Structure 1
């Protein structure tokens, strides 16, 4: 069925888009809701959903079934769009992060909003999401673990690894 959907999408046939939405639409919406989960972000969900389907429609020619499944490819696109949307919402609404990261040797001014978001670009998409939830929205590690369906210890590991990676940007000798 996936091959048929991909073939139809590559031909820019709207039937392929309908079948794609029937097959993966629920998973995409769940992913969007998991990432854009705060009250001030809910109004952006439909916009993100439309952007995801449009991007998939545009980028289907770059899909390679040998590298990933259609679901994985689509959810990666969804996650990246939602993270971009979350960052733009933070900038647009001037949400101020906590003054500095705990256990951090970095100076406070690096954690002004724009600098903090620039630093996140050096992390993986999953680490970016966890950092945003923890440092911007001040979600607890338990809340993050529940939302992302992972162990609390994994959340702590992501935070620790991310802090180390950011520290390396400023002092490669660490």
Structure 2
């Protein structure tokens, strides 16, 4: 049987799947437009909502009365109601998730900015030292390595590391006090 505008409701009531395919083809654009307009802020659930609308039509076609209005208006009303239900169900959790994601992103940005500022300050403090001495200071104070680890990494005796750090501290104090 060919499903058309004249018999699709009758066939839907008989649970003819071709009638369901017909309304999806003919009224799917309207349903999708209503869902997109009302559920713009919960995009992840739009497709699920559209499917639920057609399920509601499939199981609730007996409630449709052509004397009360056009089928197009009836399916649009079902769609709008379904959107409201999805908003009630999913919007509060999405808003909380969005807020949490935003706060985490802001925290991450602040941490990165502080790291950059700290790196600039450290580089400014260590600018007056030789390259090798700067590396020793960074390994010890920033990376948290022990003198033994630095000694092993750089292939320098422990005593030389202590001496370089002592001389470097004195030089930094002198340079730092000059700037004040």
TM-score by length of 1: 0.51
1:6 is displaced (CA, Å) by 0.3
Gaps of 5+ in 2: 97-180
- Name the counterpart of 1:75: 76
1:92-131 paired onto structure 2 within 5 Å: 92-93=93-94, 95=96
1:94 is displaced (CA, Å) by 5.3
SS at 1:3 equivalent: coil
- Name the counterpart of 2:9: 6
Gaps of 5+ in 1: 96-174
Runs (4 or more) in structure 1 with deviation over 2 Å come to 90-95
Q: 2:38 aligns with which of 35, 41, 44?
A: 35
* CA deviation vs aligned residue, 1:124-174 (integer Å, no higher than 9, x gap): xxxxxxxxxxxxxxxxxxxxxxxxxxxxxxxxxxxxxxxxxxxxxxxxxxx
Matched, 1:54 2:55: yes
TM-score by length of 2: 0.49
In structure 1, distance between residues paired with 2:6 and 2:58 = 15
In structure 2, distance between residues paired with 1:63 and 1:18 = 18
1:11-30 paired onto structure 2 within 5 Å: 11-30=14-33
In structure 1, distance between residues paired with 2:66 and 2:54 = 18
In structure 2, distance between residues paired with 1:35 and 1:63 = 23
Q: Compare CA radii of gyration and give the structure with the larger one.
A: 2
Aligned-residue RMSD, C-alpha: 1.3
* CA deviation vs aligned residue, 1:99-136 (integer Å, no higher than 9, x gap): xxxxxxxxxxxxxxxxxxxxxxxxxxxxxxxxxxxxxx
In structure 2, distance between residues paired with 1:66 and 1:92 = 40
In structure 2, distance between residues paired with 1:2 and 1:65 = 13
